[in-house]
Amino acid sequence: MIQPKYRRSFGDLSERALAFWLLLPAALLLGAVALYPVARLIYTSLFQRRLTDETGSNPVFVGFANFAQALSDERFWTALWNTLLIVLVTVPGALVVGLLLALLANLPFRVKWPVRLGLLLPWALPLVFAGLIFRWFFDSQYGVVNDVIVRLGGERLLWVTTPELLFWAVCISIIWKSSSFVALILLAGLQVIPKELYESASVDGANRWQSFWRITLPLLTPAILVAAIFRTITAFQTFDIPFAMQNGGSSFETLAMYVRTMSIENLNFGYGSALAVLMFLISLAVTLIYLRYVRGADD
């Protein structure tokens, strides 16, 4: 058999060399904006470096001392615990609400765009805006939430300044903000489920509840997993909403908020970097666990 001859347009490059040169710009860009900062972060985390003293210009190598300090830092554990609580409440919360929204949007409406637009809006809104809007909702004097409580005969609650109440206010805001993203992914998943399955199920006498449990949910699992991965990773990075809701205060603090305070405000870059590395490792671990799951589901 004669190999078809074609001209090599990029000089005399072999296919491998061509691939190398074509991928190089993307790889360089990725290295500059992703790998270098992470490497630099890990490097800085091994130094004592405070911009408020001489270590700002002459960092002192301290090995893993910053990490040891973090492990015995009560504030780190509180922030980690708060972050975990947010993950535990808002990820399932957003999945449930998102699934309901997706099922709603998947109903055979004659005009589809108002529902879809309503789905997209919270997702398109910047996180800080969502935080500020909900801060007003939960304002003790002027907020709509307390207004409803008072009309129902209850007492005004100090939502924003009572940590236990603030936690739930933050969770509600995050679920509102993130469930539309979940719904978008699930809606895409719903639309690829073949209609014939439902038809044959109803011929066999299955009710809607049964076809939801036996058809929709199993076939939607890959989409749910994808949504759960994205939601968990972003939940671990929760920053904007609790920050905006507290006027920048820190009586309820997530890990990302603590990292910011330590580095941007207190200018303790060494310790702040160590905290950020710990946060990175936690996110990485969670992602790896999920990825194993997804591969398992594929097999």
Residues in contact with another protein by CB under 8 A are 51-53, 56-57, 139-141, 156, 158, 160-163, 246-251, 261, 264-267, 269
Q: Is the Cβ of residue 9 or residue 52 nearer to another protein in the bound state?
A: 52
Q: Which of 51, 34, 33 is nearest to 266 (CA)?
A: 51
Minimum distance from CB of 139 to another protein (Å)? 7
Minimum distance from CB of 234 to another protein (Å)? 22
Q: Is the Cβ of residue 13 or residue 267 nearer to another protein in the bound state?
A: 267
Q: How many CA atoms lie within 13 A of 294 on its CB side?
A: 15
The residues that bridge with 61 in the sheet, in sequence order, are 47
Minimum distance from CB of 147 to another protein (Å)? 13
Instruction: Provide the token pair at 136.
Output: 């007003």
Minimum distance from CB of 172 to another protein (Å)? 18
C-beta separation of 258 from 76 below 8 A: yes
Minimum distance from CB of 247 to another protein (Å)? 5
Q: Which amino acid type is present at position 175?
A: I
Query: Helices 127-137 and 144-151, interaxial angle, to 10°?
Result: 30
Dist CA 269 CA 52 (whole Å): 10
Tokens 């194993």 correspond to 292
Q: Is the Cβ of residue 118 or residue 163 nearer to another protein in the bound state?
A: 163
Strands (E), 19-124: 47-48, 60-61
Dist CA 102 CA 114 (whole Å): 14
Minimum distance from CB of 47 to another protein (Å)? 15
Q: Is the Cβ of residue 237 or residue 250 nearer to another protein in the bound state?
A: 250
Instruction: Provide the token pair at 287.
Output: 């992602």
Dist CA 36 CA 30 (whole Å): 9
Q: Is the Cβ of residue 90 or residue 146 nearer to another protein in the bound state?
A: 146
Q: Where are the alpha helices (DSSP H) in 107-158?
A: 113-124, 127-137, 144-151
Q: Is the Cβ of residue 199 or residue 265 nearer to another protein in the bound state?
A: 265
Minimum distance from CB of 295 to another protein (Å)? 40
Terminal Cα-to-Cα distance of the chain (whole angstroms) = 38
Q: Is the Cβ of residue 181 or residue 253 nearer to another protein in the bound state?
A: 253
Minimum distance from CB of 218 to another protein (Å)? 47
Q: Is the Cβ of residue 34 or residue 51 nearer to another protein in the bound state?
A: 51
Instruction: Provide the token pair at 270.
Output: 């060494």
Dist CA 261 CA 250 (whole Å): 9
